[in-house]
Amino acid sequence: MHAVAEHAQSNPGKLAFYLVLATILSIGMLIVTTIVMNRYGFKEALTAGILCGFRNVGLGLALVGDMIGSELAPYVGVSMLPIFIAPFVIRMMTLSSPRLDLSRA
């Protein structure tokens, strides 16, 4: 995204803050949703947590287009990093912990 590249050059600190914020919000929603939905089983709870925590805000940006402010576009661009990295991290967690191995569920 063009806005992310501009902010990376002009204000990298703010871009790093957006990345940390997006990652914390994503992981927080994953944890909260998994805890709330745990009564339906761990596999279902984790699935719901992944859906809530790692939603694609880029789709929302595509819908509103130029109506958003100049500060929201870099956040949306940076918030996609946790979305794309999450499957890899979750897969590594399930490989390293037999309790989290969802392929047997």
Q: What is the mean predicted confidence (pLDDT) over 10-39?
A: 89
Of 30 and 63, more confident = 30
83 falls within a domain:
yes
Q: Which of 69, 30, 67 is nearest to 49 (CA)?
A: 30
Asked if 49 and 37 count as a contact pair (C-beta separation under 8 A), the reply is yes
105 falls within a domain:
no
- Residue 66 confidence (pLDDT) above 90: no
62 falls within a domain:
yes
Q: Which domain holds residue 45?
A: 2-100
Asked if 54 and 35 count as a contact pair (C-beta separation under 8 A), the reply is no
Asked if 71 and 15 count as a contact pair (C-beta separation under 8 A), the reply is no
38 falls within a domain:
yes
**Number of folded domains that form the chain:** 1
